[in-house]
Amino acid sequence: MTIHIDNESTQQVDFDYNKLIESTILKCLDYEKCPYEAEISILLTDDNEIKEINKQYRGIDAATDVLSFPAIEYGTPGDFSDLEKSEEEYFNPDTGELILGDIVISVERAIKQAEEYGHSLKREIAFLTAHSMFHLMGYDHMTDDERTIMEAKQKEVLDLLNISR
């Protein structure tokens, strides 16, 4: 398993964010029964940087809490069964790991949202990580049905990690 975490945020946190992010990622992969070792990159940044990334890649000139850049196109969300057919496309040739994609989290925005929602920053970072991981595994929330499924999965993973509001 390769989890690259780059912290460009100037915000100070009172917990080990590396451990929290890694445990959340592992729990999401386990929950979805991912049969492969995976490679994921995470960037922790601020509102200005995530705004620039959002503008560059999505054409939206606004800061957001989290961005997900999946490396895989799934026929069915969370279905890893057809990926071996595209081994060269989805797997790192050096490590054999499944390249899931990239996650960008604004720690600045996470701090604001934790205060707004009345829960800990630890819970907010874990939630944003889980949310983005499900995007990397093909889930979305564009329809009510998709949103219901994704929200349930996020909640179950956080419950399994004993991270609550």
Where are the domains positioned within the chain? Answer: 2-160
Among residues 121, 100, 113, 126, which one has the least CA distance to residue 47?
A: 113
Kindly list the strands in the beta sheet with 2-7, ordered across the sheet, starting from the edge strand earlier in the chain.
2-7, 38-45, 98-106, 66-70
Q: Alpha-carbon distance 24 to 16, whole Å?
A: 12
What CATH number should be reported for the domain whose range is 2-160?
3.40.390.30
Q: Cα–Cα distances in Å, from 55 out to 11, 18, 67, 146?
A: 22, 27, 11, 25
Per-residue pLDDT of the chain (165 residues; tens, 9 = 90+): 999 999 999 888 889 999 999 999 999 999 999 999 999 999 999 999 999 999 999 999 999 999 999 999 898 999 998 887 766 689 999 999 999 999 999 999 999 999 999 999 999 999 999 999 999 999 999 999 999 999 999 999 999 999 987
By DSSP bridging, strand 66-70 and strand 98-106 are: antiparallel
pTM equals 0.95
Write down the pLDDT at residue 66.
97
Residue 119 marked ligand-binding: no
Give 40's strand partners: 3, 101
Write down the pLDDT at residue 141.
92
Write down the pLDDT at residue 65.
97
Coil, strand, or helix at residue 17? helix
The single-letter DSSP state of residue 83 is: G
Residue 135, phi then psi, degrees to nearest 5? -60, -45
Write down the pLDDT at residue 87.
60
Residue 131 marked ligand-binding: yes
Q: Alpha-carbon distance 2 to 21, whole Å?
A: 12
